[in-house]
Amino acid sequence: MGPMSALTRNEAQTRAALLDVHHYHVTLDLTGDDETFDSTTVITFGAKSAGDTFVELKPDELRSATLDGHPLDPAALDDNRLPLTGLTPGDHVLRVEARMRYSRTGEGLHRFTDPADGETYVYTQMFMDDVQRVFPAFDQPDLKAVFAFTVTAPAHWTVLANGVTQRTGRRETDGADIWESAPTPVISTYLAAVAAGPWHSVRTEHAGLPFGLHCRRSLAPHLDADADELLDITRACYDRYHEKFSEPYPFDSYDQAFVPEFNAGAMENPGLVTFRDEFIFRSAVTDTERMRRAMVVAHEMAHMWFGDLVTLRWWDDIWLNESFAEYMGYQTIVEATRFTDTWTEFAVTRKSWGYDADQRPSTHPVAPDPDDVPDTASALLNFDGISYAKGASALRQLVAWLGEKDFLAGINTHFTRHKFANASLADFVDSLAAATDRDVHTWADIWLRTTGIDTLTPEIQEGPGGWTLAVRRDGSRPHRIAVATYDHTPGSDRALEPRDQLDLDVPSGEIISGAGRRPALLLLNEGDLTYAKVRLDETSLETALRRLSGIPDALSRAVVWNALRDMVRDGELAPQDYLQTVHAHLPEETDLAVVQGVLAFARGQIADHYLPPQERAGALRLITSTTRDLIRRTEDGHHPGLRLAAVRVFIDSATQPDTIAAWLADGTVTGGPELDPELRWRVLGRLAVLGAVTEREIADALAADPSATGEEGAARCRAALPDAEAKAAAWARMFEDDSLSNYLFTATAQGFWQPEQAELTEPYVARYWADAVALAARRGPAIGEAVGRWAFPTHAVSETTLQAGKACLEEPDLIPLLHRKLTDQLDDLSRALRIRTT
């Protein structure tokens, strides 16, 4: 189902001035065919004055609609808008009966049949404007209402919703069960949620509320293995938020459902958070990945207050939801769980997402001007590294500047003032300002209303009496940073020892003076408290390249690795020099997040994009040599996460099939780990790229692992085969057959383009533009996102690709989300071209 008419901000303001929406009673019948379901909705609302408006609905068939008992003409439905004309002041009742269509793209009511056991699951993703794919709604965040659901489902299913659900009856005709949900407090339309199917559930109670974990039955043993960890984290975050926040948790239960083929990481539906079910680990993972899952749990729970209790008025303030939850998720995990080094992972993984987004033409302020978010289609573009990572970085800097006590006092004022209502950036800043003497309004204007990234460069002068430091700022924001100095450790050719740590405001004009010899390494932004690129002076850069692994603190090493990464991207450090630094220092690294982040950049960006094709094989050999050193270092079994991370990248970077084919035949990496499903599909995928696996072997692997992830692995492998027929078949599946789900489309796209196969796939580069535009127009934003992110020919780094892409941006049928993705991809491609020619 393709795009719908976007709601404009002006339309939303007009409708909010006219209406008060009171209650939705939504009745869903999920017992019909595989393609559609029945939806009956009764909306009670009030009109403040006489006027006309509309309700949004995207049905397969609108069967009937009545307003105050008077029938409306179903033919009046215009695309996704049903007009409501001649409203009089006072209360009204709208009743709508419709047949709706299930989604296969994660939008609306998504339906999934598990290939492992044939069981079917459905769940809603109502975000932004997809509620109208499930039931009619006045679909804007500032028309909050009470929601209650009645759901008829097959007898062996369980129904979950925002409020506590219970089975209340059985339909005599077919034995289907009828479920009712408790009514919610007032929430926004995009937060209503239902999930139904034969869930495997783990239930408990905490603080007087029912808590639950739910997943597909085929994942039951994997959920059971992790249930204690997940519930411990959930309880710890819940308790910590009640220490931080003065408002109590506002809903009647806390269910967390891990659902299939989910587009986002998770969704903060009050009382029923949905997560992508890859978070139910069926294969070995690193501790960093467990920490990341814990952070997502904490992130979504923070939304219960910031987003669900207090909600944005319009989508220009989406950053308020996401930046706050991102910051609070990381900080709360540090305070409440065993994962005490989460800010290192944030520095390596999330911040680079923000830094990269902020240097593209598509960048925008953390808090964009409302006029720049005129409708829901443009708002959807802002779910990016700016709204999450940069916004969270800005809040972290705000806390460093205000102090946490005043920051939390301001937050709690905000909750008290606007609970169960809507608020804007101005309201948020006013609440913060009430808790401090500092000029928060000016800070917000400088940090949140501007684009781009500052660069901080140390300028060190040496003299007979000592040395001085001044910090040059390329940019306009004030920064509160720490500056760390290090000296060589006597008797060691690698270690560094800290000398001093100094706090500094930039720009303050302050000159730091030091006695004696200048430090061997001077590091700006120690602790990573601000959002800025940092540079190293010449001496410090030389020290870093020689002694990076000797810096004692992991977060400080992460700041240096980020500085080197930025220098590569800005053409100030040769990609090969970065790879040599990786080879020299990563085998000594002990922090998992640093290892995973550095290897991801080396493998995914430098080897595939920043080096010319003739240097790629050498880069891959250097990466496999580095990972082999890590594998050797972890033979004692004390660092299984490091070993797993190294094994994965070794597999992905193999230029010859021998070693990984032997692992596949043996069912184990030499010395461990054994090949679980994830590693087995990873090896098969690389062997497919190298032409060392057959279709028969892929089919046999799928027969041995007939799961959803097995189907994705097989699709990825088949698309990766270096065979003209395989490529033609994969292209047809993606661009001509609209039956692929969002996940199977992504898996096929991931396999299709391989730098090793550039000659074979060259004809498809020219075909991509028109086919991508047409596909996104037919199938809508979720597939548009996937076709721009995963199906783009990123390996084809050439002026020809760049010019063809720029021409595509002028296509009139290009949906906004794909336009944004292509803009970003082309900017990345242009950067790769510059780096190759520097």
Q: Which residue numbers are catalytic?
A: 300
Cα separation of the two ends of the chain: 45
C-alpha–C-alpha distance, residues 57 and 37, integer Å: 14
Q: What is each CA distance from 806 to 763, 800, 811, 830, in whole angstroms?
A: 18, 10, 10, 11
Q: Kindly state the tokens that stand for 588.
A: 């000594």
C-alpha–C-alpha distance, residues 745 and 718, integer Å: 12
Decide: 310 and 246 in contact? Cβ < 8 Å.
no
C-alpha–C-alpha distance, residues 174 and 394, integer Å: 56
C-alpha–C-alpha distance, residues 836 and 126, integer Å: 43
- One-letter amino acid of 695: E
Neighbours of 77 (CB within 10 A): 21
Q: Which value, to the nearest 10 degrees, does the dihedral of the CA atoms of residues 469, 473, 478, 483 take? A: -30
Peptide bond into 552 cis (omega under 30): no
- SS3 label, residue 468: strand
> Dihedral of CA 573/575/577/578: which sign?
positive
Beta bridge partners of 628: none
C-alpha–C-alpha distance, residues 444 and 317, integer Å: 13
Helices then strands, counting H and E runs in the chain, come out as 27, 28
C-alpha–C-alpha distance, residues 443 and 438, integer Å: 9
Decide: 148 and 166 in contact? Cβ < 8 Å.
no
Q: Kindly state the tokens that stand for 615.
A: 């240097």
C-alpha–C-alpha distance, residues 511 and 472, integer Å: 11
Q: What is each CA distance from 636 to 384, 397, 630, in whole angstroms?
A: 41, 41, 12
Peptide bond into 673 cis (omega under 30): yes
Q: Which value, to the nearest 10 degrees, does the dihedral of the CA atoms of residues 335, 338, 341, 347 take? A: -80
- SS3 label, residue 257: strand
Q: Kindly state the tokens that stand for 341.
A: 């080094």
Q: Kindly state the tokens that stand for 133.
A: 């794919």
C-alpha–C-alpha distance, residues 525 and 317, integer Å: 28
C-alpha–C-alpha distance, residues 403 and 436, integer Å: 10
Burial 227-263, CB ≥16 within 10 A → b, else e: beebbebbbbbbebbeebbebebbbbbbbbbbbbbbb
C-alpha–C-alpha distance, residues 593 and 587, integer Å: 14
Contacts of 304 (CB under 8 A, 6+ apart): 241, 249, 250, 251, 268, 270
**In terms of DSSP H, where are the helices of 634-735?**
640-653, 658-666, 677-689, 695-704, 708-720, 724-735
Decide: 304 and 253 in contact? Cβ < 8 Å.
no
> Dihedral of CA 200/746/116/60: which sign?
positive
- One-letter amino acid of 91: D
